[in-house]
Amino acid sequence: MKKILQIIYKQKSDDGICKYAFETGDGHIIESVLIPNKSRQTLCVSSQVGCRIKCSFCATATIPFVRNLTSEEILAQLDIITGEKGTLNNIVFMGMGEPLDNYANVKAAVLALNDHKQYNIGQRHISISTVGLADMIRKFSDDNLPANLTVSLHSASDIGRKAIMGPGHRCSIEQLGDALEYYRDKVGRKIILSYCLIANINDSDSDLGKLIELAKSLDAQINLMQFNAHEKCSHRPASRDQLMKFHAALDNAGVTNTIRFSKGNSIAAACGQLARQRQ
**Residue 21 maps to a domain:** yes
First to last CA, the chain: 25
Q: What is the pLDDT of residue 277?
A: 59
Max intra-chain CA distance, the chain? 59
What pLDDT digit, counting tens, does each position of 152-203 carry?
999 999 999 988 887 666 789 999 999 999 999 999 999 999 999 999 999 9
Residues spanned by the domain of 156: 5-267
Distance CA 172, CA 206 (A): 18
- CATH number of the CATH domain containing 36: 3.20.20.70
Q: Quick one: how far is CA 189 from the chain centroid?
A: 18
134, part of any domain: yes
Please indicate, yes or no, if residue 274 is contained in any of the structural domains.
Answer: no
Q: Considering the domain boundaries, does residue 146 fall inside one?
A: yes
Sign of CA dihedral 263, 75, 123, 66: positive
What is the spatial distance between Cα 176 and Cα 179, in angstroms, rounded to a whole number?
5
Distance CA 9, CA 254 (A): 45
- Number of domains observed in the structure of the chain: 1
| Residue type (1 letter), 25 | G
- Does 276 reside within a domain? no
- Looking at the domain assignment, is residue 128 inside a domain? yes
Q: What residues act catalytically?
A: 31, 271
What pLDDT does 1 receive?
47
What pLDDT, on the 0 to 100 scale, is given for residue 69?
98
What are the φ and ψ backbone dihedral angles of 178, each rounded to 5 degrees?
-60, -40
Asked if the structure places residue 277 within a domain, the reply is: no
Report which of 139, 27, 118 is spatially closest to residue 71, judged by C-alpha positions. Answer: 118
DSSP annotation of 231 reads T
The pLDDT of residue 264 is: 74
pLDDT in tens, 116-141: 999 999 999 999 999 999 999 999 99
> What stretches in the chain show pLDDT beneath 70?
1-2, 167-169, 266, 269-270, 273, 276-279
Q: Is residue 197 part of a domain?
A: yes
pLDDT of residue 94: 94
Q: Enumerate the β-bridge partners of residue 96.
A: none
